Copies of this chain bind each other. A is one copy, B any other.
Amino acid sequence: MISTTSNRVLELQQVGKVYRNGTIALQDANLAIAPGEFVSLVGASGCGKSTILRLIAGLGQPSTGNIHWDRPEQAQDLAFVFQDAALMPWATVLDNVRLPLTLNKTKPNQARATAQDVINLVGLAGFESAYPRELSGGMRMRVSIARSLVTTPQVLLMDEPFGALDEMTRSKLNSDLLHLWQQKRWTVVFVTHNIYEAVYLSQRVVVMAPRPGRIHAEIPIDAPYPRDEDFRTSPEYINHCRAVAAQLHTAMQDAESL
Contacts and interface: CB of A to CB of B under 8 A. Distances in A.
A156 to B, nearest CB: 19
A50 interface: yes
Contacts of A21: 130, 134
Nearest to A168: B252
A120 interface: no
A95 interface: no
Interface in A156-178: 159-160, 163-170
A248 B167 contact: yes
A45 B136 CA distance: 7
Given A21-B134, A23-B134, A134-B19, A167 B139 contact: no
Interface in A109-167: 123, 130, 134-139, 142, 159-160, 163-167
A18 to B, nearest CB: 12
A163 B164 contact: yes
A46 B138 contact: yes
A68 interface: no
Please classify how large the interface on chain A is, using the bins under 10, 10 to 19, 20 to 34, 35 or more.
35 or more
B137 A168 contact: no
A167 B138 contact: no
Interface string A200-241: 000000000000000000000000000000000000000000
20 contacts: A19-B134, A21-B130, A23-B130, A42-B166, A44-B168, A45-B123, A45-B138, A45-B164, A45-B169, A46-B135, A50-B137, A83-B137, A83-B164, A84-B137, A137-B159, A163-B164, A164-B193, A166-B193, A168-B252, A170-B193
Interface of A: 19, 21, 23, 42-46, 49-50, 83-84, 123, 130, 134-139, 142, 159-160, 163-170, 193-195, 245, 248-249, 252
